[in-house]
Chain A
């Protein structure tokens, strides 16, 4: 009997170590410890063993049983390990690049626009939007630009044919013409006509000028304008806003200054100069960044606000120009070519 046990164990050891799959394992296991297994048969013989030999033999069989179980466990572990190894595949080379698409990117004009909107939001401005196709009233008349004014020249503004129809852009008077807005001030007019004061909006958007495309000019470009209308708004408040905006954008040592200028829709009007450290490719102290002023009373009259009660300021700037200053870009056309080597730099 003892010899038989030893033979069975030896055979089991050899057989189990050769097992490859769970199915083979189950068959092998059944061959030994199943109802008809060799080892089970051995156990069945225990009844015929003389009483005095039983304790010794029982111990022997128990030991064999434990041994057999550990052989089975080991075989199963090997199989499980092999299965996992098969699922894993070969080891990775961590230095190989991921073949997946690289990170998506926002366009630099979007980044600059959103940053300005965030800064202005802190000052209480919400973002307003309006149509790119607009009419003479919103682009000129309401902004104190009378019919004979040189700014209305067809040389500078894109117009649509007299019979053009735009289903969702409202005209003020039937005979006025559609045009591509030459500034985002149209949004100020539309907003003021829609809502009573106080008003505090920023309107970023695309504008159009009939201009030769070169390193600094583009047939369409983007502006960002702020409008604040309330009681007792002053020139000093306007200066305070601009100081805040540019300090928030470029750091606390940034300065702004006003130069007198002329715009039909503001009085007084200024051009805004900016002085900031660390702007790339800028080698003069003051650089022009935008225009601003106190809303002209005639604009309030055009939108039905009482100019005796309401005062306000407006500020506008070109987003391309700002982006060019911030990033040190020297040609406006790069924004519209969309070379990925350019776009990826701003992520």
Chain B
């Protein structure tokens, strides 16, 4: 659109009298045509693969079959009501909340710690940064396959070492009390290094002169962290929190590989629930309804965080 603005203004200004609204519209459209043409290729693909699919989900969410052989019929919001009444869905939402909080806080905390420790660039910190970033480079499915061996009951790597200390060996992925936490450990291990990058970038933006002034005024390391570094990192925090929450909903590859949502739905997350409804129950209506609910929640969250960010930038 910005391309079109300078061209549109002279057209409107040069008109001696008030043009007809229709005329003005065509003039504007003509002026911004090149912009639309430039956008066209990506618009086509967005329409095909994003908006089209979303539209289809909305339509699918409104239809349902009463019995296997019956035709699809319009049911309005019944699918959404059915999803909300399904205890497996509420269970998945609760699991997902625990999972989101339990992975976001530790991985962000670790990421900040790593970034603070490795803020200065030298040979040692570069090597350590690379080492901490390594898990990010491993695909989630491959990482899950590795952890399958680490978590193997009785004979796995973890039990091999921890087993010497504990009287009864935990069945990491087979016990509904532990399985979700085992899954969370993988996520934290994998994401902390990624978030560290954002904090490292954020730390570069902390003004050098302010830090120096604080140093001269006798502010210790903790004071500098509390009153200068953390406030300066606020936008980074907001951004990373949004990313971490989105990851908690959209990254479920390890659930597919390690537990399939089990045992007894203990590791069933919202996205996996949608997958189950769609491909195991073959219930497209319910799957689409659950997708819509998830999308709405994610969009609300993103809008809220962007508004918070915008407010902050607009304010004093």
Partners in one complex: no
Interface of B toward A, CB cutoff 8 Å: none
Interface of A toward B, CB cutoff 8 Å: none
